[in-house]
A and B are shown apart, each in its own frame.
Chain A
Amino acid sequence: MSTVGAARPRIEGRLKVAGAARYASDVPMPELAHGWMVTATIAKGRIRDIDASTALGLPGVLGVLDHRNAPRLNPRAGNYFGPDGSLQLLQDDVIPYAGRPIALVVAETPEQARAAAAALRVTCDAEPHDVDFHLAHPAARPASTAFGPEADTGDVDAELAAAAVVVDERYSTPEESHCALEPHAATVWWADGHVYAVDSNQGAFSVSEVLSALWSIDRERVHIRAEHVGGGFGGKSACGPQVILAAMAAERFGRPVRIAMTRAQVFEATASRPPTEQLVRLGADADGRLRAIHHRAAYALSPLAEYIEWCTEQAKILYAAPAIRTQLTAVPSTSCRRPRCAVPARRPARSPWSRRSTSWRSGWRWTRWSCACATSPRTRPCRDCRSAAAAWFPACGRAHAESAGRPGTGVPARGARARC
């Protein structure tokens, strides 16, 4: 009998209901120190000063990391779309959104770290913020078409004019939080130039790639485990602040460091689903047959990284109207914190894993080749990438690095494009 199609309870179910399954903040670890995130309380501005003198004198405190003393990260580390500023924690004095981690207090116990975090005196210069969001916002701009072009078939205006019935409505969905049962957490340690993490994420391999890019080390030196994860829903698809900050602290203090976010920190410092505003115009014959679909939609975009909230996609593919037009708009907003992971329908055009993406219409074929490094989209296949069986970026990175002098990091240096 086939094992596929058979109803079976989950293998680890007993471990989970008995409380024996270990999540990222449960792993026993000798010499463990605890990090506590301090987050921005203003929506936009600059840090003037972080006075840690009181905090450093409190019991059990090992130290405070902020933008003045944190390890430097590679600014070109990114996601599918390219460099991602939301990964660049503690790198400068800029506050791009409320809830941005701006310091990490490290202490012997979580309680001591929390108490010291409360004693940190942060002064900021606030700048005017704009959390307004709507389709006609002055900052609105066309969304990225990296997942394929807008639909523009037929004559929408003519079909609407000829339609017996027209529906023209506005729809709104709010910003939403993922609210996974397990708050984001990571336990991180370094040994012999390798970094090890037990992290709450949705893809250990991609987190290892991002972390290796941030630290400019071989991916083989980054070991991410996520044996049990208590929900993600897209909110844990990126390399989370918990693992980046804990890796910084573990490196600095030479000890394993754990960060377990509070629920409030998850709300303010991790990814959310952006709000949307959508205008839909439909034209139909008297018998209900669709003649025209005009779908204009806007979503809030983090100012730190590109992202596509793909809410016009179904208008393109699900209906057979003779005229379909979609217009997707991005509104950069300080209300938007971090990008969620955006997933193209087809193979990512610029992911480390593949190099080709085509459009939603079989008649229209959009082929884009890019080098496996996210920073240099190309119109031709990269010879090195194509020939590499594994086809992810160490192969290509080495090719870049020959001219850039950073062998095997997978991180192309500036000016290395010409090689790919």
Chain B
Amino acid sequence: MLIGSGMATTSFSAGVFPSSASITAEKDETFTVSIGASDIGTGARTALTAVAADALGVGTEQIRIRIGDSDLGMAWGAGGSRGTTSWSFAILEAAKKLRENLGDSVRPVTATVDTTTMINFQPDRERQTYSAVFAEVAVDPATGEVRVRRLLGMFAVGRVINPLLARSQVIGGMIMGLSMALHEECLRDPRTGRQANGDFAGYHFAAHADVPDVEADFVPDYEPQDPSGFNGLGEIGTAGTAAAIANAVWHATGTRQRILPIRLDRVLEPATAVDVAGELRVA
């Protein structure tokens, strides 16, 4: 086995988009937080509950959160690494407004905000998250198979809301990057124009056996452009991982891989890489 290690660093665009949020102080001392956020498996519901509890100065058990409904008002979607920052901004502003009214004993009382104006008049500055990803691979010189032995990602993504969920998410992103490096490609039949591998038998992506040792952690960070110091981390996990693995393959074999995925044939026959690129053009 040829063993190699590689690393890559990158940044990823972060930011905030307008959203609206409502918070109701209920008669029973609980708070109902309504925001048109989406939890697509990221843990947004859990993260936003913590953000609301923090903003209201109460425990998470006093927060009832409602998301995933267009009737809850205008909100940015779960996309572009901007969901959590956009929704948190609106929840924070709604909590601020509600706390101003809490002196009054009338319950329930609701505060609703729309952050469009606030965000439109923020100064424009570059806003990025950062990563450094390290990979160790083993390459079988007989078969050309690349196995990732270890992956480590370090991330600067602002203040982390929930380290458990955040770690899961960037590890998921790194596995997606591994998949991008070694497995994934839609192959199109030039004769019919149809995808030839449009199912899970033909379209490969990383399974458990492909990811033996993946670790991720965060460096202390605070985003100065966000009222709570947050940044999005939806995509930064993926960015950089494929490059780290490609660099590790170079370290192991002495050959640069510039076409993804790094298939067995591309490792075995780098001299024909130009032909493979030609093949890719019809893919």
Report A's interface with B, CB cutoff 8 A: 2-12, 41-44, 97-99, 129, 131-134, 169-177, 179-181, 201-208, 219, 222-234, 236-237, 263-264, 267-268, 272, 275, 277, 313-314, 317-318, 334-335, 341, 343, 345-348, 351, 353-356, 358, 360, 362, 365, 389-392
Contacts and interface: CB of A to CB of B under 8 A. Distances in A.
A4 B17 contact: no
B260 interface: yes
A24 B163 CA distance: 29
B59 to A, nearest CB: 7
B79 A132 contact: no
Contact of A203 (B11, B75, B184, B193): B75
B50 A99 contact: no
Contacts of B125: 362
A222 B74 CA distance: 13
Given A4-B51, A391-B117, A272 B186 contact: yes
Interface string B67-100: 1111111111111111000000000000000000
B50 A3 contact: yes
Interface of B: 10-11, 13, 15, 17-18, 20, 36, 38-41, 43, 45-46, 49-51, 53-54, 59-60, 65, 67-82, 114, 116-117, 119-120, 124-128, 159-165, 176, 180, 184-188, 190, 192-195, 198-200, 203, 205, 228, 256, 258-261, 277, 280-283
A202 B40 contact: yes
Given A132-B282, A202-B77, A207-B70, A179 B205 contact: yes
Nearest to A340: B79
Contacts of A222: 70
A353 B89 CA distance: 15
Contacts of B127: 345
A354 B164 contact: no
Contact of A204 (B38, B43, B120): B38
B123 to A, nearest CB: 9
Nearest to A223: B71
B283 A98 contact: no
Nearest to B160: A5
Contacts of B187: 174
Nearest to B13: A345
Given A175-B188, A175-B283, A360-B126, A224 B70 contact: yes
Contacts of B119: 347, 354
Contacts of A4: 50-51, 54, 159, 161-162, 228
A223 B59 CA distance: 31
Contacts of A237: 77, 79
Given A8-B165, A10-B46, A343-B80, 15 more contacts: A4-B228, A11-B65, A43-B193, A97-B193, A169-B258, A176-B184, A201-B38, A229-B78, A232-B38, A234-B79, A277-B281, A343-B82, A348-B17, A354-B17, A360-B126
**3 nearest A-B residue pairs (beta carbon):** A203-B77, A43-B193, A343-B80
22 contacts: A4-B162, A5-B160, A10-B45, A172-B277, A173-B260, A177-B186, A177-B198, A177-B203, A179-B200, A203-B77, A204-B68, A206-B77, A232-B38, A237-B79, A267-B186, A267-B199, A272-B186, A314-B10, A343-B13, A354-B119, A362-B124, A391-B116
A362 to B, nearest CB: 7
B163 A347 contact: no
A227 B128 CA distance: 30
A203 B79 contact: yes
A98 B194 contact: yes
A224 B71 CA distance: 7
Contacts of B186: 174-177, 267, 272
A343 B14 CA distance: 10
A190 to B, nearest CB: 15
Contacts of A351: 17
Contacts of B160: 5
A205 B190 contact: no
Contacts of A205: 36, 70, 72-75, 77
A312 B243 CA distance: 15
A347 B19 CA distance: 12
Nearest to B258: A171
Residue from the set A133, A205, A232, A345 with the largest chain B CB neighbour count within 10 Å = A205
B182 to A, nearest CB: 12
A334 B281 contact: no
Residue from the set B51, B79, B120, B281 with the largest chain A CB neighbour count within 10 Å = B79
Nearest to A12: B45
